[in-house]
Structure 1
């Protein structure tokens, strides 16, 4: 049965099946989507399964207790009024008819209790974000109804609608309740909703566009989906895909734990790192692009990548470019907003982030500085530590979930600080080192940021030299001076050269500007050498593909000095250097 024309009622059916099996007469639906709430009300009032119901009560903290009725336009709530027992003159003056509306939760629970026990009754509780037990007795009532023989035998049911059961019930109480996570929206529901709204607004929308919109709106609930479609129409008089993606990004950002970002770069915008590009293209991009063929050979799709290495070596940029190469959304997990000072909120934030990310997947979920999740201590010393351990466990469970749709790309500057659970087999398919670029890679990185890489989206810098002359100058003069520079520092070098040219009011950046910019850096080469050795040791520990590791070490220049590379490259090519795909 489909309710509302396009709404899937399987989540309601699942709860009712549990009710018929006498798991519990109390069911909690984890949703606050107005369309889902209306769907449940309509189902209760129109379904044959509830034809013998005596009363349908509904409680909202703002409206108080009411009776749910069916009108020609749909479900409506009529205020429930209770006759006062007191016959004092004062009561008569205050309420001449002797009736009073119930607002207080404890009074509401007491009033509905007798109906649930005496006759077949449905009680819906909505918009409840908290319930102080000492004031309301809410959890005590839930536990009592869940095991009450009269409530069970006469077929009464209690439906609770909330964003998260943990916010209003402790673990003990949750054991008495059937908790149903509700899918924000299925692919088919979004398609049907797009078609329905398009028909109402008379917006042309063929099957191809409908499918594009359904994919773009994945992860949002039905109310959010409809709101974005309507706002796009108000802005553009159409369902503009770019506008809809921007509106969705703004909406997801309000969660504070996820951000949807459009991938800005491709592999052609990254200089050097050919070994990493080749490895990722071969074992990740090709498998994702040809997933049916991979499944035919029994190859599992990659679900997790760990990028590790010193700061500024392009890990975040590479993750962004990977999303472009495989044409997937790029979702940023805002780890600093996961943790909260309020007890229970950190776990809820993590749960919400995982749920939302999965609904928007397949996608690249980027987790920067994954070591922020810490390590297992074995002993939780206090509620804050318990909350940290809970978040850690949630993330590990997500990483190890074989049905996970999200492709998690994590980065860390300090892989030695990661808990062993992160690095064991089954969590991340591949662990890829990003070391300081070697001489050839540094040349290519500089050429990219000067705008000379073919296929790159980066703008060309005004230079006093041509392409070949610039490449030769960089190879001879700049590359030997930038040993152990990070990619970020090479980009900054180009920026400083542009500032120098700007300050002297020149028309273009000169050789001298580049040399001056290079000399402004203060690099602790002894420290960098120790970092390189440490990174190589970590690469040998975490990277189990020897051919890949050998290629990385060779490319990063660990096998020869910059002077040797300069001599060999000069002899090998008297013309322009190959910048490769970067």
Structure 2
């Protein structure tokens, strides 16, 4: 199996191949710039770094003058925005410097957070001019570094995109050991080899600086660093994942036992619980890809997903598909890439996609220049190629709105149709919701309630219990079976109002 190249290897190869314009997407600008400086040193190239605050500096941070001489008849417009003017001078400096003899074996021009200025016509034109000239006139390369990807349509064919992956276990472990060595003597470090491995694995999914901040917080808070700090690191991790905008840590208040019925699905999931472990791989079992739960609203699909972390003992990350979409060329795909990279870095984990059809429906008729199709294509490729233990669990209310690619055999390990609950399952659901509200199910006519709720979904049964509690509380007495029966009689279940749609789902599933 071909080993994935590191950032340094990939960028080095592109530079040697005379790629003129490279765009590195990373949350760790300082780490990337350090690696680029080392690449320049190894390849005996001169490196120049630019940002809007410092202007041009060399690898040691010393100011350098790359300003081009002012020429008459320049096509550059005067601008009132100081930042844009600085960006214009920066590209002028690149063009001027690249035209001069170079004692080194070429130059790297590294610009940080430059994407906003690419919308300026002069800046964009100068960049494209460099992209045309550099492969033939020398060994110079422009490298843009940013945490977001914004590429104007006019430059889409000129730029090569490189995604800097989150640090892996090896990188985090090296950084962790350096952090421990730097601690003062009064800070107690009580860690076995197993403890160190556990702490570092807990930090997977964080950048190097975020991981160091989490370790430092543990030391400051507890005056020591021990295995007990795993939970603190996980809390920091949750905050950082939430800030991503598209991924959210889900913490269910109830366990998987709160899901009533669905014995077939329960058994299937329990068999795959241990397939995420290392010994399962040695036995020859591949990582479980995931499961698609198809069914009408209110049948408990989302509850299963939210509580699955309790069964599989994995964190649940919900991916908001709507938040991925952007008007900028390539940014929607990049948002999906970053979200999936973060999920992979947090592995073993569960990736939850709710109401899949809303995120991926109608792609053939999409008027977004193919963005939705490219996002779907990237997601499907990731599902096919991903080797990290990330279990995807998705829900869908209407299979007719899903692209056929998602329903192809082998995309998910299994597709389950979640039908309206049977009589026995309705009994189980009543018991679950009564127990959740501190009531003893044996004190209620559960069998009678189940018989009266033919065609009710799990969510509708829950509402029957809640409405009964409201009635009892209003009359300052305890809840009775009659309270719930009265609410059953006044309710019209969705199975009556949406009978054709539900039957269509059943027909497809069978």
Q: Same fold (TM over 0.5)?
A: yes
Question: What is aligned with 1:498?
Answer: 469
Residue of structure 1 in register with 2:77 after alignment? none
Indicate the residue corresponding to 2:8 in structure 1.
12
Structure 2 CA distance for partners of 1:537 and 1:84, relative to 1, 3 Å: closer
Q: 1:66 to 1:435 in 2, by over 3 A?
A: same
The SS at the match of 1:161 is strand
Say yes or no: does 1:450 pair with 2:434: yes
Q: Does the 8 A contact of 2:150 with 2:331 survive in 1?
A: no
| Matching of residues 295-306 of structure 1 within 5 Å | 296=283, 298-306=284-292
For 1:60 and 1:255, locate their aligned partners in 2 and report how far apart those are by CA, in whole Å. Answer: 24
Q: Which residue of 2 is the match for residue 288 of structure 1?
A: 276
User: Which residue is 1:24 aligned to?
Assistant: 19
Q: Is the 8 Å Cα contact of residues 357 and 396 (structure 2) preserved in structure 1?
A: yes
- In structure 2, the partner of 1:419 is 403
Looking at structure 1, the residues matched to 332 and 69 of structure 2 have their Cα atoms a distance apart, in angstroms, of: 44
Structure 1: stretches of 5+ with no match in the other structure: 1-8, 70-75, 87-100, 452-457, 541-582
Q: What residue ranges of structure 2 are gaps of 5+ in the alignment?
A: 72-85
Q: Distance in 1 between matches of 2:366 and 2:14?
A: 35
Structure 2 match to 1:134: 121
Matched, 1:513 2:493: no
State whether structure 2 residue 439 is matched by structure 1 residue 439.
Answer: no
460, 470, 475: which is aligned to 2:438? 460
Determine whether 1:196 maps to 2:178. Answer: yes
Q: Superposed, which structure 2 residues align to 1:180-329 within 5 Å? A: 180-201=162-183, 202-206=187-191, 207-235=193-221, 237=223, 240-282=229-271, 284-289=272-277, 292-293=279-280, 296=283, 298-329=284-315
Look up the SS of the partner of 1:80 in the other structure.
coil
State the SS of the aligned residue for 1:68. coil
Is the radius of gyration larger for structure 1 or structure 2?
1
TM-score by length of 2: 0.84
Confirm whether residue 113 of structure 1 aligns to residue 88 of structure 2. Answer: no
Q: Aligned partners of 2:27, 2:495: CA distance in 1, in Å?
A: 56
Is 1:56 aligned to 2:56, yes or no?
Answer: no
Query: How big is the shift at 1:16?
Result: 2.4
Give the number of equivalent residue pairs: 482
Residue 94 of structure 2 contacts residue 109 of structure 2 at CA under 8 Å; is this kept in 1? Answer: no
Q: 2:197 and 2:388 mapped to 1: Cα distance?
A: 23
- Alignment partner, residue 78 of structure 2: none
The one of 360, 363, 366 equivalent to 1:374 is 360
Structure 1, residues 116-175: CA drift from partner, whole Å, max 9, x if none? Answer: 7675433222222231352213432441344124x13xxx4544323356636833103x
**Shift in alpha-carbon separation, 1:145–1:168, aligned structure 2, 3 A:** farther
Query: Normalized against structure 1, the TM-score is what?
Result: 0.74
Equivalent position SS for 1:125: strand
1:48/1:348 CA distance change after superposition, 3 Å: closer
Aligned residue number for residue 475 of structure 1: 447
Query: Contact 1:445–1:490 at 8 Å: present in 2 too?
Result: yes
Matched, 1:406 2:393: no
Asked whether the equivalents of residues 309 and 435 of structure 1 are also in contact (C-alpha less than 8 Å), the reply is yes
What do the CA deviations read for 1:257-292 (whole angstroms, capped 9, x no partner)? Answer: 11122354433221211122123223x224335x53
More divergent stretch after superposition (303-312 vs 27-36): 27-36
Deviations 1:42-76 (A, max 9, x none): 5257x5543xx5x432211232222332xxxxxx2
Give, in angstroms, the shift of residue 39 of structure 1: 2.4
CA distance in 2, matches of 1:529, 1:102: 62
Aligned CA distance change for structure 1 residues 113 and 417 (closer, same or farther; 3 Å): same
